[in-house]
Structure 1
Amino acid sequence: MSSISERYPVSCAFCKIAKAYPAESSPVPANPDPELIDPGCYLILSTPQVMAFLDIMPIAPGHILLTTRPHYEKLSDMYAPPKSSDWASEKTATQAKEVSQAIGEWLPIVSRALCSVTGIEDWNVVQNNGERAAQVVPHVHFHLIPRYQEGRREIGGKGKVDYGMLKSWKVFGRGSREDLDEEEAQVMASSLREALKAELGGGKAKL
């Protein structure tokens, strides 16, 4: 069986989040403190298998990262049949299969919450594997990037974001990312948590 250091490598930014914010009884955390780690984490979802939080350098307001809680570097690492019949190998394979299924279950739910809060009709789901594929944090994660349609009321209002760029189809263009504004992040994360609760029928469902 893997040790805690193998499951959550110290050098991994997302593993630090996983350790700082253990899974609770509800998948939607009540009021997580963003300052438990540095840089701050604006958590919106926390289960034994997956987590979701705001990207600290968003392409657009509401840019979410949906990630596995256990450490897997690439998508291909997440599940393979056990190589032996021993208990540890079977348990590891079972856990990876559960995490893979959870990612698939939560992607549409988090997407609906994102659309509800931001009012967007279109969004990207982007997943990178490896440095040459623009994966910055070597831990499996999916980007949910809002694409703001023409005529939508701009959120934020601090003048840091080029909203014309947000309406384009550009994915990871140079100069298109901004540091997350902490005040706006608090509001956005809170709104997303409420939207997730609504999606789950008041937070009673446990995936």
Structure 2
Amino acid sequence: MNELDLHYPPDACPFCNIAGAFPYTPTTSLENGDGMGNGKGVGKGETLSDCVPSETDADPEKTDPNSFVVLAARDTLAFLDILPMVRGHLLVSTRQHRVKVADMHGDEGRDIGMCFWLPVIARAVCKVTGVTDYNIVQNNGARAAQVVPHVHFHIIPRPETMPEIKNKSWTMFGRGQRDELMDEDGASIAVEMRKALREEIAKIGTSSKL
């Protein structure tokens, strides 16, 4: 790894902490694998609806700071950015600790990427925010504005009226100019996002398997 790259060991990574606090809980156990992306098996009762946590399971106080989780799938997590650029700014990450896209395993890339979850989650974000234009941004390494060295995609709605961003350089997708997400707002948005995601899954078919 390049010396300029940021790195946390998994036990200190904030996204790994979220993954540990919000495990994947299919309706039946996996036939081959441990439910954490280590193995290729899919349980007979494992469906897409298993991937959206219930309101009880999505308790944001499971982590410090609070985490507003929308999706807790076998290989993929989605949660609100705690320093959002705009309302509905969502992060989609790998469950396992992968620093860059090149570190991802094949199954993870298929699950998180354009093949499956990103389009479904993007539709949910559009429904909740009422904004149909959005950026999907993914950074690899410190020079590319990656702040948390754990693979994640930003889904950032682009409303007609955007807040003023004083620094318009590439750093806008790194730490940049952000406002802290208030717990009350985060909880409210996450409830709406989970509902919208369940509706999107229902269109696909709740019995559909990963």
Same fold (TM over 0.5): yes
Q: Matched residues in 2 for 1:109 and 1:201: separation?
A: 11
Matched, 1:57 2:83: yes
Q: Matched residues in 2 for 1:170 and 1:197: separation?
A: 36
Instruction: Label 1:206 to 1:182 Cα distance change in 2 as closer, same or farther (>3 A).
Output: farther
Aligned residues of 1:10 and 1:16 also touching (Cα < 8 A):
yes
Matched, 1:29 2:40: no
The residue correspondences of 1:37-186 to structure 2 (distance < 5 A) are 37-78=63-104, 96-104=105-113, 105-150=116-161, 163-165=162-164, 172-173=171-172, 176-186=177-187
Aligned residues of 2:145 and 2:170 also touching (Cα < 8 A):
no
- Residue 176 of structure 1 deviates from its aligned partner by 2.8
Instruction: Label 1:23 to 1:133 Cα distance change in 2 as closer, same or farther (>3 A).
Output: same
**CA distances 1:17-62 after superposition (whole Å, capped 9, x unpaired):** 1111100221100111101110110000011110000001000010
Aligned residues of 1:165 and 1:176 also touching (Cα < 8 A):
no
**Structure 1 letter corresponding to 2:120:** I
Normalised to the residue count of structure 1, the TM-score between the two structures is 0.76
SS at the partner of 1:30?
A: coil
**CA distances 1:130-149 after superposition (whole Å, capped 9, x unpaired):** 11111111100000001112
**Structure 1 letter corresponding to 2:20:** K
Could you say which structure has the larger radius of gyration? Answer: 1
Identity among equivalent positions (%) equals: 46
RMSD over aligned CA atoms reads: 2.0
- Is there any run of 5+ residues in structure 2 with no aligned partner, and where? 1-8, 27-49
Normalised to the residue count of structure 2, the TM-score between the two structures is 0.75
- Is there any run of 5+ residues in structure 1 with no aligned partner, and where? 1-7, 79-95, 151-162
- Residue 107 of structure 1 deviates from its aligned partner by 0.5
Aligned residues of 2:15 and 2:150 also touching (Cα < 8 A):
yes
Q: Matched residues in 1 for 2:181 and 2:152: separation?
A: 18
Q: Which residue of 2 aligns with 1:87?
A: none
